Structure 1
């Protein structure tokens, strides 16, 4: 008589299953939280060390206060005017999210068209590359001249910054499908739109989310760049104004808030990836570049 014992961490083996198949249990909330802590403590420690170094440099007066504001002074500046920073941060956040969503929609659509039409791909790809290499700070003033100082120029720059990673990653994902899968789909009589929704699109999602995580941070940069060249509100406006007034604490406060905004948007996209792609190997591997 063979006695079967539970496999630690993998659930109970199925007694009558062929080949000793082991039924894996879904990780509970506690396991997921423990895994999150295991993966996150190193970045938090590194961040703490960077802040400690920042504080040590300013505390030892290795640099002048007007050159680098200390962490304490930066925090005091934010807490002294919370409504001021919150209002401007919301403006930049709105511009960033709007630009990111528009870039995602247009980028995905353009990628699909390029994959299904080689003529359009050969015509459009060089233009996309040309548009990407142009410094956005150089063309942003043109949008201000054309559209004024309103919302439009900031959103357009954010779209231009975020568009390229989305379209390139989506094209790569749509083309990475195994040709045998497409042949099998055609053999079984699937229509082109069925092949797209059932095979091509799901297979492209890991690549798409990789591009979206890059685009999320680029959209923040684009919104701020748009505010640099013409704006009366937003974090970019705060930085420009603080730079002109030699107000280093306010300048550093704006930079810290922008950095936190980019990290938060990146984490949101990564969280959505974990919800949409729990089955993908990148979500199950121990050696994965992720914070979730």
Structure 2
């Protein structure tokens, strides 16, 4: 009884210090980027008028942030369209490329037969074939999702193949000797060992996803941030252009944080603190 009482005061400070360290880590992860952006925007706001650069060339941050607020309804509507294209294309790439990476690694003949074909099609510039998607599928949602999928597919596939191949074969022999089934080996050994590589590919794909959606909207669209950017460019509306760029950046940051959060949930053994 006395031992339990003696250990409680030492455990509580340790838990409190760990909570404080986690809170401090989150605060620093948010505060430092915000401080950097604040310094950048203040320097931009001050240096552009000082250099005599006209607004139709480079607007100051106060101008396009004001436009972002006044046209928030319009920009938000087009942001939802672009965000939908990004999410659908990214999810399609993840759902197809991760299982395909495991199948290619597991069946050696497929790796010799299919993977070179995939690499060959990957070498074709996606931006060059984007106009074909408009001719084939029109100006709707599907060509943008398809282009986003193609840009996200290969990085996720290569990362998945690397992750499933990285596991030491001796570990598989050990699981078989202990009587583990194929599903248990896949669920508790192969997938956890490959997740680090898979999420590396997903983080790269998250960056490409926004690029694919915007390029698809540039080629042919009647909605989305890419369409709004083209409309602002045709009228030399620089505040609108930069407001759309801010909205697109916020979408990319949010999407990147969602991928990071999913990594923390699915890989709790790598949590710090």
Which residue of the partner structure matches residue 45 of structure 2? 55
Which residue of the partner structure matches residue 37 of structure 1? 27
Deviation at 1:165, TM superposition (A): 1.8
Query: Aligned partners of 1:100 and 1:211: how far apart in 2?
Result: 11
| Residue 284 (structure 1) aligned with residue 249 (structure 2) | no
Which residue of the partner structure matches residue 230 of structure 1? 220
Considering Cα pairs closer than 8 Å and 6+ residues apart, tell me whether 1 or 2 has the greater RCO: 2
Which residue of the partner structure matches residue 289 of structure 1? none
Which residue of the partner structure matches residue 16 of structure 1? none
Q: What is the TM-score when the length of structure 1 is the normalising length?
A: 0.84
Deviation at 1:105, TM superposition (A): 0.1
Provide Cα deviations, 1:12-69, integer angstroms capped at 9, x if missing partner.
4xxxxxxxxxxx7597654422121133433222222222232223232442211112
Deviation at 1:163, TM superposition (A): 1.2
Query: Aligned partners of 1:76 and 1:271: how far apart in 2?
Result: 31
Q: Name structure 1 gaps, 5 residues minimum.
A: 13-23, 286-292
Deviation at 1:179, TM superposition (A): 2.0
Which residue of the partner structure matches residue 254 of structure 2? 264
| Residue 196 (structure 1) aligned with residue 189 (structure 2) | no
| Residue 166 (structure 1) aligned with residue 166 (structure 2) | no
Which residue of the partner structure matches residue 138 of structure 2? 148
Q: Paired residues, what number?
A: 267
Structure 2 vs 1, CA of residues 174 and 87 (structure 1 numbering), >3 Å: closer, same or farther?
A: same
Q: What is the TM-score when the length of structure 2 is the normalising length?
A: 0.90
Which residue of the partner structure matches residue 213 of structure 1? 203
Q: Does structure 2 conserve the Cα–Cα contact (< 8 Å) formed by 1:154 and 1:226?
A: yes
The structure with the largest helix share of the pair is: 2
Query: Aligned partners of 1:92 and 1:181: how far apart in 2?
Result: 44
Question: What is the alpha-carbon root mean square deviation over aligned residues?
Answer: 2.4
Question: Which stretches of structure 1, 4 residues or longer, exceed 6 Å deviation after superposition?
Answer: none
| Residue 244 (structure 1) aligned with residue 234 (structure 2) | yes
